Structure 1
Amino acid sequence: MAKQPTGKPGEWFWCLKHAKVEEGPECPARNRLGPYPTAEAASHALERVAERNDEWDHDPRWE
């Protein structure tokens, strides 16, 4: 039995599989980043991931 996607209308996600913003439960959670409060915020998800990775890479607690 396939798992149902989780999420609600009004929640926005960046879909890694389709490389686009999606609203609500379109794709499985394993393929999404979010939820974000707006489509605009979701459209910048990969930028935010890169920023966080850079912060973590330079965090002295992880050296």
Structure 2
Amino acid sequence: MMALFKKRTVGKPGEWFYCLEHKKVEEGPECPAKDRFGPYATREEATHAMDLARERNLEWETDPKWHDASGKAQGPEGG
């Protein structure tokens, strides 16, 4: 059986991640994918990963395409 996706265990220099577990920026993924945001092009972008996530969550919460009149969240197809 052939793997469809090659699991990358070592990051590339120049790729920046924000680790949710350790709450720190790391170059190349040091922690498992489930515990990090990224990759980002710069250390600066990774530093602001949580701010960006908060902004996106706020946009989603106020997006009328994702909510019906009752206020229940729905997918883009309305279901």
**2:16/2:29 contact within 8 Å kept:** no
Q: 1:6 to 1:52 in 2, by over 3 A?
A: farther
Q: TM-score, normalised by structure 1?
A: 0.87
For residues 22-51 of structure 1, give each alpha carbon's deviation from its aligned partner in whole angstroms, at most 9, with x where no partner exists. 000211111110100000110000000000
Of structures 1 and 2, the one scoring higher in RCO (CA 8 A, sep 6+) is: 1
The structure with the greater share of residues assigned to strand is 1
Q: How do 1:31-42 and structure 2 match up within 5 A?
A: 31-42=35-46
Q: CA RMSD in A?
A: 1.5
What is the CA–CA distance in structure 2 between the aligned matches of 1:49 and 1:12, rounded to whole Å? 16
Which string of whole-angstrom CA distances, capped at 9 and with x for unpartnered residues, describes residues 11-30 of structure 1? 00000011000000211111
- Unpaired segments ≥5 residues, structure 2: 1-6, 68-79
Alignment of 1:15-34 (within 5 A): 15-34=19-38
State how many pairs are aligned. 61
Partners in 2 of 1:34 and 1:28 — Cα distance? 11
Partners in 2 of 1:25 and 1:48 — Cα distance? 19
Distance 2:55 2:13 in 1: 27
Q: Which has the larger radius of gyration?
A: 2
- Choose between structure 1 and 2: higher helix proportion: 1
Please give the TM-score of this superposition, normalised by the length of structure 2. Answer: 0.71
Consecutive unaligned residues in structure 1, runs of 5 or more: none
